[in-house]
Amino acid sequence: MNPIGEEKYFKIKKEIGKYESESRLAHTCSVFEECKRLADMYGLDENDRDKLCTAALLHDITKDISGAKQIELCKKYGLRSPENAKEPMPTIHQDTGAYFAREIFGEEIVDDVVFGAMSAHTTGKEDMSNIDKLLFVADYIEPTRKYNSCIAMREYLYKECGKINKNDKAALYRLLNKAVIDIIGYTVTFLTEKRRNIDCRMILAWNSLL
Ligand SMILES: [Fe+2]
Ligand SMILES: [Fe+2]
């Protein structure tokens, strides 16, 4: 498969429909649209825009796969097995998804930029690229998310962005960093309140962004 732009996106959407539930696909398409808006807002060039949009379409490709199958995928791709093998952390789908997507679509479509953004979309990671951050934020603020913190972050980001001169990239990316930090803060607070595991990559992302 070597189409570009909308033709490529159409083919990917058709393929991911085999793996994602209807509601998941609605979320995926919403992240894709959010990434297009963010790409406009951040003035991404054609290449970066394409990487971001491709990663958006593929990011949750294994999210609907069961825990047992996730463990199988971990073994297949040589990923570190989750400590509690019966119940892998939900974040594992970002890792299995990147490998699975690369297996299906190949390295031309799932290149290192797309792979990297997919494999950090839930937790973030140390030293995230701008594409990693944009997908991370888009996944959190896309408009089908109904949590108050998601809605508030979406409103905040667009409001603050509206105040910045579009040529002031430094200010735009400072705002993006703040959004990632705040989203990690919300998520860690939620996880601690629920007494759930925290993927250590989220802490590494937090430390590297402060
Ligand atoms: Fe996800
Ligand atoms: Fe997602």
CA 26 to ligand 2 centroid distance, Å: 10
- The bound ligand whose nearest atom lies closest to the alpha carbon of 150 is 2
CA 59 to ligand 2 centroid distance, Å: 6
CA 132 to ligand 2 centroid distance, Å: 13
Could you give the dihedral angle defined by the CA atoms of residues 189, 88, 33 and 182, in that order, rounded to the nearest 10 degrees?
Answer: 20
CA 47 to ligand 1 centroid distance, Å: 23
- The bound ligand whose nearest atom lies closest to the alpha carbon of 31 is 2
Which segments within the chain are labelled E, that is strand? none
66 contacts 96 by C-beta, under 8 angstroms: no
Amino acid sitting at position 57: L
CA 92 to ligand 1 centroid distance, Å: 9
Amino acid sitting at position 113: V
Predicted pLDDT of residue 3 = 56
Domain boundaries along the sequence of the chain: 5-209
Predicted pLDDT of residue 84 = 54
CA 68 to ligand 2 centroid distance, Å: 20
CA 34 to ligand 2 centroid distance, Å: 12
Separation between Cα atoms, residue 109 and residue 3, nearest integer Å: 9
The pLDDT averaged over each successive group of 10 residues in the chain (210 residues) is 76 95 97 97 96 98 92 89 65 96 97 98 97 98 95 97 94 98 97 93 96
- The bound ligand whose nearest atom lies closest to the alpha carbon of 97 is 1
The three-point CA angle 102-104-106 to 5° equals: 50
Q: Please state which CATH class domain 5-209 belongs to.
A: mainly alpha
